[in-house]
Structure formats: structure tokens, C-alpha cells
A and B are shown apart, each in its own frame.
Chain A
């Protein structure tokens, strides 16, 4: 390999658009396979909404993986706790939830989501200090500790709320669909998509336009060097962990409203999806996580419609295919 001299012009950095084109290509390929344009639009909208919810839940986990090199198998606990906390707000204000006014509905929904984020974030603080801190750098112990933490969290929820499924009805104004000709797009899915996009944009702005974001991006790549420059990265770890936990709590509320129910093991069905998203996106990559979440949701929706029997394994097949194409995920950030 020849060494470039200092004065030699640099090769232009290549922008990698292939992963971005992947979901677009997948959606286009599905048009003839699905057949009906209205069904295709409905499935695509459902995929976007589901993808955004998965992205919100997975975004924190990918940063925790990338920045802290922590395998947090207990991430699902924050999702379930977030959902349960929301029921505490919804229950006493059931009449407001069922009111016909969007603003009245939002007056309950917004505080419920914020409280869920706050409690999940606080739980993240406890988990990081108590479970993660003693086992930094020890992956096997991290898996054991966080899996144990998940079990304790689930059993605590069972003990406090009981084993029954708790209904969590959608607020009245979020029920129903927007109708465009033959196409019906559920209102809640539109809201979920908008919230997901807002979270994505907010994370991107923080990561790319602030010094805190610079530190996080640098820390994902080389924690040691960030410390050698004089930054206390442990505090950054804690902040990222709490933010990731809070986002998981928000995702839990949104998923509970999507399913209109809450139960202690609700995160079980999501954990696999979230890990698939984080792995195929590339550890620590928010962009990869975003695209990965949309791909996973597309495969679940299109696959469920076209080949229902493949639904159980479709995401694993997707992961295998992506990793054969790019072994470190769609956008490799870390060398781990």
C-alpha cells in the first residue's frame, strides 16, 4: 500500500447510500407481490409505524452497546416498566382518555409518556450503578447480571400488578383511520411514525451538532482516547444509559397503546426484534438502527401478509442476509 504524502489530495469520502436504498427497494419489490396498491400502502404505513416504535426502543440499546460495550439483556425491563407506569396515569383519568377531544387525550397521554420516561430513566440509573458498574468489560457477567435483572423486574411487576393482562385502550381521538380513497391508515400509526421521526431527528441533532454528541460519537469509537483527552466518560456512560432506558420506557408506552394491553412479559416478544435491529444496524449506529428497525418491521408486515408461516423466522433470515452482506452491520461504527 502506498503512503499518501501530506500534500496529496485526499480521495473523496464515499457516502454510503446502499443501506438507505434497501428499505426503499424492498418496498418497491413488494408492490407486485402484494398486488393491491391500497393493501401495499396500508402494509407500508404499518411497517413505518412499527419500525419507528422498534427504533425508539432499540436506539438506546445500540448506543449502550456501542459506547459502553455493555451487553444489556435486561433492556426489555425498561419497556415493560414504562408501559406499566403509563397505566398508573391512564387509570385515574380514564374519562379523559375516552373524551372526544384530542387535546384532552393528549393532556393525559403526554404526562403518562413523560412519567414513564422519567421512571425508566431512573431505573436505568439504578441498574447502571448496581448491576452494570461492577461488571464493565466482562461480557459474560453482563449477560448474567442483566438477564437476572430482567427476571427480577418482570417478577416484581407480576407481584405488584398481578399476572393478568391490563387493558390500555387508545385515546378516542387516536382511534380510527385516515381514509384516502381505498387506503386506510390508522391514526395512531401516523402519530407513532411522527414521534419516531422526531426522536430520530433529535438524536441526530444531538450527535452531530453538539459537543455532547461529538463526545458520544468519539466514545463509541475509542473510549480510552476520550478519557486521555480529559473527559470523564463514565458520566457520559451513565447519561447515555439513562437516556436509552428512558427511550425504552417511551417505546413501551407506545407499544402498549399499539397492542392496547400491558403485561409483565410484554418485552419478551420485543427483545429479539430489538437485538436483531441493533445487530443488523451495526453496534452504536443510530442511522443503522433506524434503517434496521424499518427493515425488520417491513419483513414482519409484508412477510406476515404474503407468507404467514415464515413470520416466525423472517427476521432471523433478514439478519443472516444482512450479516452475509455486511458482517459488522449496515453501518459499522465500532470495531467490536
Chain B
């Protein structure tokens, strides 16, 4: 399978801190690649470095064969990379509609795509003209994901979408992400919720101290409790 995204020997410094210490990873086209690891392992920094929000100090990042590590964030976004940050970062002062208008950029919103999104997230239709700041945490996460998929994207970078959400909303999000996956999207997904990771992931990368310490199939990691304990300090049962 072709790799859509590749990182080779990527280092990222934030101030004096050396966060990513030579990351090598590949995200195959049409797959969901899980990026797991303990807090502070460098997962969010990896996504932000790919997105150009933090500049890689060295190394290569390619998207569909094109070098992107020196591009500015807007140019990377315009190459078809959608980003859902951990903080959701919806624009609170704008309505749901206005948030999506901005996400659609130059194009008008595609009604079919919008209806598909409403199918998963009916709350967005109901609160179409409400300020995003008045949405609940779960609804904000739905909006944040909707913003990333309102236009077709080559690659989605999603950072801990289930964090802090109620179980029912987590299930709805998982169903939505599964459907996005079925439509052939390529996703690099950071997740602490192992249940969600097991449900969604095709392959898995585990980070520790700014490096990739494990790569393999998600199903293999899900089946190997001692490996989970060693890499993540958890077992699947503990997170079900």
C-alpha cells in the first residue's frame, strides 16, 4: 500500500526543549494509523509539526511524495490536510454555520456532504445558527470534526477526539470516524482511549520520549496485553 505521509528523521525543538528526537513514520493511504503513547511522549507535537504549526528543526516530511516540512501551515492545509486539535478550537464567537463556512474556504459548502455530516451529528443541524461557544463539549468536538471533513481532505490529523467526552458521545464519534474511514480517508489519529483506538486503528505507532518505540498492526497490539502494559502502562481490560 502506498504511503501518503512519511516522516524521516524529524526533530522538533520548542524553545530549549528537544521534543521530537528523530521520528520515522509512515501513514498508508486509506488507513487509520493510531499514534499512541503516554502523556508528554510527543504525539501532539508530531501532529503540529506535520501541520507546520511548529517547524521541524531537521528531517523530511512528505505528503504524497511532496516535501512539506518547510511549508507554512496554510499551504499545508491547502494541500488537503485537515486538522482537529486536542482543544477542538472551534470559534466560539461564530455560529456553527460560520465555523463551517470558514472551513469550506473558497468553495461553497457541499449539500450532500453537509447532509452526511448531519446524519452523524444531528445537533449541528439543530444548532446551525447558534454560537459555537454555547455548545457542549461533545457538540464542539462534533463541530471540530465536521470542520475537518466538510471538504474532501487527503489526510486527517486528529488529536484525542474522545478526550473528556461522555461515553454516548464517544460512541457516536467512533461511528462517525469509522464511516469516514469506510469512505477511504487517510487518518493519523492520536488517542488515549484504547477502546476507541482498537475500534478504529488499522496500524499503530507508539511513541515514548519523542521517538517511535513500536510499530505494527493495531489488532496485534490489542491482542497482546503484556506489550500494552510495557509500552503504554495499561491493559485493554482496564480501559474497556
Using CB atoms and an 8 Å cutoff, list the residues of chain A in contact with chain B.
3-8, 10-11, 13, 211, 214-215, 217-218, 220-222, 224-233, 333
Give Cα A5 to B126, complex, Å. Answer: 13
Number of A-B contacts (CB under 8 A): 95
Give Cα A214 to B127, complex, Å. Answer: 18
8 A-B pairs whose Cβ atoms sit less than 8 Å apart in the complex = A10-B134, A211-B101, A222-B91, A225-B85, A227-B77, A228-B77, A230-B105, A231-B105
Shortest distance in angstroms between A208's beta carbon and chain B's nearest beta carbon? 10
Contact A222 B136 (CB under 8 A): no
Contact A13 B134 (CB under 8 A): yes
Give Cα A189 to B91, complex, Å. Answer: 38
Contact A229 B103 (CB under 8 A): yes
Give Cα A211 to B105, complex, Å. Answer: 10
**A225-B85, A227-B53 are known contacts; what are 12 more A-B pairs with Cβ within 8 Å?**
A4-B139, A6-B139, A10-B136, A214-B98, A218-B93, A222-B89, A227-B77, A228-B51, A229-B105, A229-B147, A230-B78, A333-B93
Q: Which residue of A lies closest to B169 (CB)?
A: A6
Chain B interface mostly: helix
Shortest distance in angstroms between A3's beta carbon and chain B's nearest beta carbon? 4
Interface residue from A214, A215, A228, A233 paired with B53 (Cβ < 8 Å): A228
Q: Which residues of A contact B130 (CB under 8 A)?
A: 10, 13
Contact A225 B89 (CB under 8 A): yes
Using CB atoms and an 8 Å cutoff, list the residues of chain B in contact with chain A.
51, 53, 72-74, 77-78, 83, 85, 89, 91-94, 98, 101-103, 105, 121-123, 126-127, 130-131, 133-139, 142, 147, 165-166, 168-169, 172
Q: Which residues of A contact B72 (CB under 8 A)?
A: 227, 232
Known contacts: A3-B136, A228-B51. The answer to whether A214 contacts B101 by CB under 8 A is yes
Contact A217 B94 (CB under 8 A): yes
Contact A230 B172 (CB under 8 A): no
Q: Which residue of B lies closest to A14 (CB)?
A: B134
Q: Which residues of A contact B101 (CB under 8 A)?
A: 211, 214
Interface residue from A6, A221, A229, A233 paired with B138 (Cβ < 8 Å): A6
Q: Which residues of A contact B172 (CB under 8 A)?
A: 6
* Residue among A7, A211, A222, A225 facing the most chain B CB atoms (10 A cut-off): A225
Contact B53 A3 (CB under 8 A): no
Interface residue from B53, B74, B85, B92 paired with A231 (Cβ < 8 Å): B74
Contact B91 A230 (CB under 8 A): no
Shortest distance in angstroms between A69's beta carbon and chain B's nearest beta carbon? 16
Contact B138 A3 (CB under 8 A): yes
Q: Which residues of B contact A229 (CB under 8 A)?
A: 74, 77, 102-103, 105, 147
